[in-house]
Amino acid sequence: MTDGFRVDLTALTQASEGVNTTIESMRTMRVSDIDCPSDAFGHERLADTVADFCSRWDQGVVNLTEDGREIVSRLTHCVQVYRQTDGTRL
């Protein structure tokens, strides 16, 4: 029986990679790239509302992407620190 706790470094690494994959897929498909002529909505005010929504949604995705990058950075740092700590105790 060991004292302390155990960290699954593989799971942390996979979580980091998963977040990174999601960020990369979001970079290639921006909400603001939805290309639809305003007359397709049949009403100018509705078209303006959809355009405004897409713009705000896109900003939200940008914010989530920034947060995701921070998560990746912290997970990667944790894995590195755990590995260094385990290496010094061996």
Task: Write the pLDDT tens digit of every residue in 48-70.
Answer: 888 888 888 888 888 999 999 99
Q: What is the pLDDT of residue 33?
A: 67
Residues 57, 29 contacting (CB under 8 angstroms): no
Q: What is the pLDDT of residue 19?
A: 93
Q: How does DSSP classify residue 58?
A: H
Report the predicted TM-score, pTM, of the whole model to 2 decimal places.
0.69
Mean pLDDT over 8-36 rounds to 84
Task: Write the pLDDT tens digit of every residue in 6-17.
Answer: 889 999 999 999
Region label for 79, one of left (φ > 0), alpha (ψ between -120 and 50) or beta (otherwise):
alpha
Residue of 47 and 13 predicted with greater confidence:
13
Token pair 């995705």 is at which residue?
61
Q: What is the pLDDT of residue 81?
A: 94
Distance in angstroms (rounded) separating the CA atoms of residues 36 and 49: 13
Q: What is the pLDDT of residue 32?
A: 67
Contacts of 74 (CB under 8 A, 6+ apart): none
Q: What percent of the chain has pLDDT over 70?
A: 90
Query: Between helices 44-89 and 9-28, what is the axis angle to 10°?
Result: 150
